[in-house]
Structure 1
Amino acid sequence: MKKILVASHGHLAGGVKSVAKILLHDDSAITAVNCYVDESDPGEKIRAFIDGVEPQDEALIFTDLLGGSVCNMVTAMRPERKGIIHVTGFNLAVILKCLISTDRLTPEAIDSIIGTASTLMKRIELSDAPTEESDAEEEDGFFM
């Protein structure tokens, strides 16, 4: 069974789960841990996830920020001892790809998915060059 834990500062993890439900119509593989939003101990929820992973499961943990307290908490729990792959600094694309992938989620497969997903972050810059629409408006004299 595929099991994915997303743990983040604030409500980011819950937002990822929500997006998976909207886009994929299924968020059942995701456990979201929104850290530091209330008095509960996020470590207990993370530990419960790790303890619930069976040898036949494909399990991943995504944390939001390399070197952040959530990442460090997970790292200290040594999830790799149970065959769980820990990825930090995630984006939505990497999680969605892991959810829909039919391939076994090996460390090599995850590295490939990370490589692809990281190329999907782009700075959008609009050009001042005229478009067909703006050319037509100028010909009509609308803005003149």
Structure 2
Amino acid sequence: MIHFILASHGTLAKGMYESVKLIAGEIENIHIITAFVDNNDIKGMVCSEMDSIPAEDTVIAVTDILGGSVNNEFMNYLSRERFYLIAGMNLPLLVQLSLTVGEGDDIDGAIKELVHSPEAAPVYCNERSEQAEDEEF
């Protein structure tokens, strides 16, 4: 079974999941961690969520900021089998994860493909607009 954990400073993870549901529908086995909202014990929050997931299950954790306290706490689980950690939460990435990654897939390969896909990357629209104008002339 695959479990998704969305974890962020504040309520970003909750808001992201609400947006994913609008676009892609409900995700089974979703865990949301909103750090520093009601509880400052990020270590305890992460430990509690990870302990609630059977060791034989797959965990895909997505955090908001690489090197932030939330992401750093999940780094402690990198040695766990079937644990995948992605930093840099964004809506296109979460939608693609929810729609494309399933049980029995090459999850490592799928994640690598998703994080390097143009759809998951930010785009500076001013620059893109200027390039389009240059191409028109």
- TM-score w.r.t. structure 2 length? 0.77
Aligned twin of 1:123: 124
1:8 is aligned to 8
Partner of 1:92: 91
Give the aligned length. Answer: 127
- Which runs of 5 or more structure 2 residues have no equivalent in the other structure? none
Q: In structure 2, what is the equivalent of residue 57 of structure 1?
A: 57
Q: CA deviation at 1:48?
A: 2.5
Equivalent residue runs for 1:102-141 within 5 Å: 102-103=101-102, 104-116=105-117, 120-125=121-126, 126=129
Q: Aligned partners of 1:5, 1:121: CA distance in 2, in Å? A: 22
Identify the structure with bigger relative contact order (alpha carbons < 8 Å, sequence gap 6+): 2
| Aligned-partner Cα distance in 1 for 2:79–2:112 | 15
The answer to whether the Cα contact below 8 Å between 2:92 and 2:120 also exists between their aligned partners in 1 is no
Distance across 2 between alignment mates of 1:80 and 1:86: 11
Contact 2:65 2:71 in 1 (8 A): yes
Q: 1:27 offset after TM fit, Å?
A: 3.5
Deviation at 1:41, TM superposition (A): 2.7
Q: Any idea what the Cα deviations from partners look like across 1:51-72, whole Å, max 9, x if unmatched?
A: 2333553320111111111111
Letter in 2 for 1:87: I
1:68 aligns with 2:68: yes
CA distance, structure 2, for counterparts of residue 50 and residue 95 of structure 1 = 20
More moved, 102-111 vs 61-70:
102-111
2:37 aligned counterpart, secondary structure: coil
The AA in structure 2 aligned to 1:62 is: V
* 1:58-108 residue CA offsets vs partner (Å, 9 max, x unmatched): 3201111111111111113x2441421011112211121111115515222
Does the CA contact (< 8 Å) of 2:5 and 2:61 recur in 1? yes
Aligned equivalent of 1:25? 25
How far apart, CA to CA, are the structure 1 residues paired with 2:73 and 2:84?
A: 15
Matches within 5 A, 1:42-53: 42-53=42-53
Q: Distance in 1 between matches of 2:113 and 2:21?
A: 24
* Cα RMSD after superposing both structures: 2.3
Mapped to 2, the partners of 1:105 and 1:43 lie a distance apart of 29
